[in-house]
Amino acid sequence: MVGEEGAFVLGWDEVLTEEELFMTLKVLSMSEKEFKEYKEQDGWEDDSEEEENSTLSNEALSRLKTPCKQLLYNSILLTLQTYTSDLKAEQDLLDNMELYEKLSRREQQALHVRYGQKRILHQLLELV
């Protein structure tokens, strides 16, 4: 469902891999009985109409059912734990020009990427 990399692409305003995330949350929140029934249907295309009407904008994420929100929340927390520093540490480094200028160009770019990723993840935590 998620593809080879096993990751979802999240942007500032919406989920960019919304179909994959929607299906994953739906399946993971099913009971074993519901999953068996879902699998026995003629393919997974029966809910294509539901998916078409379910654009996962940030606003829509905040309206997900509680089990889906909990799965997403826990996934975000696990992702944040993979970083060696927190959002505040990144912000402090960005604010301290003396320390920031001591970083190589590559380290500065990596800092901006990490900071942006963490800001998106924290924004999503607030939504769910």
| Class in CATH terms, 18-127 | alpha beta
CB atoms near residue 83 (< 10 Å): 14
- Which residues partner with 14 through β-bridges? 57
**Nearest to 23, CA basis, from 40, 12, 39:** 39
- Tens of pLDDT, residues 10-51: 888 878 777 788 888 888 888 888 888 888 875 555 555 444
Do the Cβ atoms of 1 and 37 come closer than 8 Å?
no
| Whole-prediction pTM | 0.75
Q: What is the pLDDT of residues 70-125, one digit of tens each?
A: 999 998 999 999 999 999 999 999 999 999 999 999 999 999 999 999 999 999 99
Residue ranges of domains in the chain? 18-127
